[in-house]
């Protein structure tokens, strides 16, 4: 993919690292000269030390042929402006960090994929890491539901269980849905007759009320 990333702060730097290492063609726009130089020295990508809210800068970045533009600055007004300009160039994927919830409607009208309040996301991740050690990753879908990734342990109640039978017997907590299963390097969509094995990595849809029960079912951790 050809990706234009605006901002090389803490969030942007991590994103640049992921995107470049994954083999994407990356162009970075950073207005701070020191940050721009640091990225240029560390990564094999084009870095523009310029103002991304200038349409000429986006043209220099090749925005018209990009697959995605991602804005990560800590100023929502800048992110909105960049998204509006990128929209004029018919960029298929517009993604932005949003710091102030009051600005969400503006981004939504543009058709931007939103990453809300990154500081809150980090806090949530840290809390889950402490509260639920068995959760290797999670995605909060809304205030009450989320997707969690769990690795099945040997002594977990769900180890050796057939999904349909586990659901009927209550071993699989009510309200939990196993939406994906990774085994031997392959990801598959589980069915009712799928047997959960020790070492499987499962992605589970659950609500906050049954999250603890879901973690305990697949990892044995209470």
Q: Residue 99 has what pLDDT? A: 87
CA 24, CA 187: separation in Å to the nearest integer? 23
Residue 185, phi-psi category: left (phi > 0), alpha (psi -120 to 50), beta (remainder)? left
Q: Residue 8 has what pLDDT? A: 94
In the predicted model, what is the mean pLDDT of residues 90-107?
90
Q: Residue 138 has what pLDDT? A: 74
Domains detected in the chain: 2-116 (3.40.50.720), 121-219 (3.30.70.1450)
In our burial notation (b when 16+ CB lie closer than 10 A, e otherwise), range 41-58 reads: eebebebbbbbbbeeebb
Q: Residue 139 has what pLDDT? A: 73
Over the stretch 29-56, which tens digit does the pLDDT of each residue have?
999 999 999 999 999 999 999 999 999 9
CA 222, CA 220: separation in Å to the nearest integer? 6
As a whole number, the mean pLDDT across the chain is 90
Q: What percent of the chain has pLDDT over 70?
A: 93
Over the stretch 153-195, which tens digit does the pLDDT of each residue have?
999 999 999 999 999 999 999 889 999 999 998 999 999 999 9
Q: Does position 103 have pLDDT exceeding 70, yes or no?
A: yes
Q: Residue 222 has what pLDDT? A: 63
Read off the tokens for 151: 């690795």
Non-local CB neighbours of 201 within 8 Å, separated by 6+ positions = 136, 149, 150, 151, 152, 181, 182, 183
Q: pLDDT band for position 208 (50/70/90)? A: confident
**132 vs 84 pLDDT, higher one:** 84
Q: Residue 136 has what pLDDT? A: 74
Q: Residue 104 has what pLDDT? A: 87
Judge whether 204 and 148 are in contact, CB under 8 Å: yes
Which residue from 76, 73, 60, 75 is spatially nearest to 27, judged by alpha carbons?
Answer: 60
């Amino acid at each position: 993919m050809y990706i234009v990333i605006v901002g090389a702060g803490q969030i942007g730097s991590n994103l640049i690292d992921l995107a470049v290492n994954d083999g994407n063609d990356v162009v970075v726009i950073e207005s701070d000269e020191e940050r721009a130089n640091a990225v240029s020295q560390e990564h094999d990508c084009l870095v523009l030390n310029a103002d991304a809210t200038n349409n000429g800068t986006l043209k220099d970045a090749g925005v018209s042929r990009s697959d995605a533009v991602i804005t990560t600055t800590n100023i929502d007004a800048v992110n909105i402006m960049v998204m509006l300009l990128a929209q004029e160039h018919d960029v298929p994927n517009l993604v932005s960090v949003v710091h102030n919830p009051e600005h969400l409607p503006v981004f939504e009208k543009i058709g931007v994929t939103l990453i809300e309040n990154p500081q809150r996301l980090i806090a949530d991740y840290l809390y889950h890491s402490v509260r639920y050690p068995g959760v290797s990753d999670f995605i909060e879908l809304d205030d009450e539901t989320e997707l969690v990734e769990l690795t099945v342990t040997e002594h977990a109640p769900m180890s050796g269980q057939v999904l349909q039978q586990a659901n009927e017997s209550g071993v699989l907590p009510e309200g939990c849905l196993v939406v994906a299963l990774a085994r031997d390097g392959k990801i598959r969509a589980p069915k009712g007759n799928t047997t959960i094995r020790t070492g499987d990595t499962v992605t589970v849809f659950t609500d906050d009320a049954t999250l603890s029960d879901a973690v305990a079912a697949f990892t044995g951790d209470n």
